[in-house]
Structure 1
Amino acid sequence: MPLSPVPRVLTLAFGALFCASLWQPSMASDPIKIHGAGASFPAPLYQRWFRDYFVAHPNIQVDYQPIGSGPGVNSFIEGRLDFAGSDQPLSGELAERAGDNVLQLPLTAGAVVLTYNLPGIDELRLSREALVGIFLGSVVRWNDPLILAANPGVEIPDLPIVVVTRVDASGTSLVMTRHLSAISEAFAKQVGESQSPAWPALLLERGGLIRGHGNGGVAAFVQATVGAIGYVQYAYAHLPRMQIALVENREGEFVSADSDSFQAAVENFRTKLDLSQFGDPEGAGAYPILSLSWLVTRLGGDDAKSQAMRDVLRYALTDGQAEATKLGYIPLSGQAVSLILQQLGPVD
């Protein structure tokens, strides 16, 4: 069976909710252990799912380590993991290395946000020009005219900007650089879309770049560094109540990261069915930096581990979707869930 990134699901995969897990594993003397690793983007949700599933099925233990998309996918391909988390479906060389019988399922969607550390600045607006300038290294201080222009009346301090990025190959970096490339030809030429972007020398030369492991590492550096700004999956900034910037969308609106702005982007995407908008959705009130998150695995036949893995995935796609909103993710639509469940095969 060839690699299946479920292209039809991409046109449906953002949206509402829905439910019901079916296969019930029999209790066994030895627990079934399933090991996964990869993207830190979905880690808070994955870990909630696997904990809740274990409570209901104590003989099924699923472990997930957020080591980054690149290392996780490579470990899976090399046969050291049962599944990997990735912020894009495998393609090209990776798909060839993975071989046949690989199943790729989008399990949730989420937003990448800009979290910053400026004490006393509860609302910060970042225009597209300012955002690109920060990550290209041309906007070096917080009181730069480009930032002040979008924040009239706000006393923004004269502090150097410290940009916090990922040190590991990261789907979150891919999402962020995809957006910056979509809104800036200069960024697309100098940096481009990448899981491991080569950030401009301007940032390095002035000591304005810090690199962290995983979304958690980026968030921790931002929290510890006054004047810092970094990109993380929404949950990593939202749950610890970190400062999150309002960003300018295609309509010229400054939108906050919340369920309303996520839904506005989702609804427009589902209406237009245009994948080229993925890096910068249209629509009034739409949040502009979104991504799907994928789980990559191999499912065998009727052995106990394969059956357990199927049921864990059914739980994540049904009852587990209700947890997505609570943790700051975007649940899949009922139509998308139905399509994805077909990829898992019949329930025994």
Structure 2
Amino acid sequence: MTHARRTLAWLCHLLISASLFGLIATAQADEEDQDALRLLGTGASFPAPLYLRWFRDYYLAHPNVMVDYQSIGSAGGVKDLIGGRVDFAGSDLKLSDKEAAQVPGGVHQLPMAAGAIVVVYNLENVPALTLSREALVGIFSGTVANWNDPAIAATNPDAGLPDMPIVVVARADASGTSYKFTRHLSALSPEFAAAVGTNMKPDWPDALKDRAGLVRSPGNGGVAATVRAVPGSIGYVQYAWGLLPGIAMAALENRAGNVVAPGNAAFNAALTSIMTNPGVPNATDPTGEEAYPIVAVSWLMLRDAYEDPAKLPALKDLIDYAMGPGQAVAEQLGYVRFPEPVIEYVRQQLD
């Protein structure tokens, strides 16, 4: 099967998975239960695979509550919540005080999903790739422009790297994933911090644009699909979007100077480091010998009051399910299972 056909098949599968629950739920509501409660949310694509699984499983146990979540990006979800168009929103960044003050009915913000941002790539006959911090920054700055560049070859001496240009795939929308990724690169390089900085919608360097080395795609799913379709490309996505479709992911050098491949053990090591030593510097680039260097938490925002009095109790019960039985599927889908102190914190906020 060609790259294009495989990509089309995966996209179809992704779209079906993302929308099937909504279609089934809507049809059943129309035909069987006109009184079913519908909860609508939009926002970050970072937690979307996990949210969709949780919401489907919750519906199977509670067919009178239907949850529809559309992954349109963190910025879109925040706008919808402020505009009163949704019941809840997902965002990879907490609301600012100014944004929170604009949410009708007040707002509570709960950490809901933790995961890693991984670097996915498309290189034929290169199943394993290691990127030093120098190479990672160079690729996304545009100064490392070819796959056989010495900065990449130094950590991949036997990989048979091709002599072909690197195509960077970045997010087209305002994205929390972009924010966390550029925040990490800025921590590694003062030059990157000055040229691009930490941004939800980065203005990528001219060195990429001038050689047509930059492609933009919406959502984590769009970036993953584009990387899978374009030979010689590289991009950044939440781990699930690389794991589930089987896209190659690079091992990265961490703060301790060790090469760490994406995986649950490395993600848990990073989260443990962050919980032990909280603060932006450690969250941006965790310490720890085995810690994966780029991890992130995604937040769920719900209003404190709703016109329909049934919605808040239903949302609270849904979140309680996610913090309980729902945690069993987190690692299966490429997320970090929350430790008990975090679960207890969320439940305290609900109370």
Q: CA deviation at 1:99?
A: 6.2
Of 245, 254, 259, 2:264 maps to: 259
Partner in structure 2 of residue 325 of structure 1: 331
In the alignment, which of 301, 304, 313 is matched to residue 319 of structure 2? 313
Q: How many angstroms apart in 2 are the aligned matches of 1:81 and 1:209? A: 34
Match of 1:304 in 2: 310
2:20 corresponds in structure 1 to: none
Cα distance in 2 between the residues matched to 1:337 and 1:170: 26
Structure 2: any 5+ residue segments left out of the alignment?
Answer: 1-31
Query: Residue 212 of structure 1: which of 217, 223, 231 is its match?
Result: 217
Q: What is residue 25 of structure 2 aligned with on the other side? A: none
1:209-248 to structure 2, matched below 5 A, reads 209-248=214-253
Deviates most, 301-310 or 291-300: 301-310
Cα distance, 1:267 vs structure 2: 2.0
Report whether the alignment pairs 1:105 with 2:75.
no
Letter matched to residue 56 of structure 2: R
Separation in structure 1 between the aligned mates of residue 309 and residue 124 of structure 2, nearest angstrom: 55
Per-residue CA deviation, residues 72-119 of structure 1 (Å, 9 max, x unaligned), is 110111100111100011014323433662010001200000000001
More divergent stretch after superposition (259-268 vs 34-43): 259-268
Unpaired segments of 5 or more residues in structure 1? 1-26
The sequence identity of aligned pairs, in percent, is: 51
Residue correspondences, number:
319
Counterpart of 1:60?
A: 65
Measured in 2, the distance between the counterparts of 1:269 and 1:300 equals 33
Counterpart position of 1:8: none
Distance 2:316 2:33 in 1: 17
Secondary structure in structure 1 of the residue aligned to 2:325: coil
| Inter-partner Cα distance in structure 2 for 1:130 and 1:29 | 56
Offset of residue 65 of structure 1: 0.4
**Matched residue type, 1:307:** P
Q: Shift of the alpha carbon at 1:268?
A: 1.9
Cα distance in 2, alignment partners of residues 239 and 219 from structure 1: 10
What corresponds to 1:46 in structure 2? 51
Per-residue deviation at 1:29? 5.3
The residue identity in structure 1 corresponding to 2:182 is: T
Q: CA deviation at 1:299?
A: 3.3
Match of 1:284 among 281, 289, 294: 289
Kindly indicate whether the alpha-carbon contact (under 8 Å) linking 2:141 and 2:208 is maintained by their aligned counterparts in 1.
yes
Distance in 2 (alpha carbons) for counterparts of 1:156 and 1:92: 48
The answer to whether 1:172 aligns with 2:177 is yes
Residue 203, structure 1, aligned to residue 195, structure 2:
no
Cα RMSD of the aligned pairs, angstroms, is 1.5
| Partner in structure 1 of residue 23 of structure 2 | none
Distance in 1, Cα, partners of 2:72 & 2:196: 23
Deviation at 1:273, TM superposition (A): 2.9
Partner Cα distance (1:76, 1:99) in 2:
8
Q: Please say if 1:34 is aligned against 2:39.
A: yes
TM-score (norm 1): 0.89
Q: Deviations for 1:181-219, whole angstroms, at most 9, x for unmatched residues?
A: 111111111011110111011111110000011000000
Mapped contact 2:146–2:163 kept (Cα < 8 A): yes
Question: Which amino acid letter does the alignment assign opposite residue 240 of structure 1?
Answer: P
Determine the structure 1 residue equivalent to 2:24.
Answer: none
Following the alignment from structure 1 to structure 2, what is the Cα–Cα distance between the partners of residues 269 and 69? 23
Question: Given the alignment of the two structures, is residue 82 of structure 1 paired with residue 87 of structure 2, yes or no?
Answer: yes
Match of residue 342 from structure 1: 348
- State the structure with bigger RCO (CA 8 A, min sep 6), 1 or 2: 1
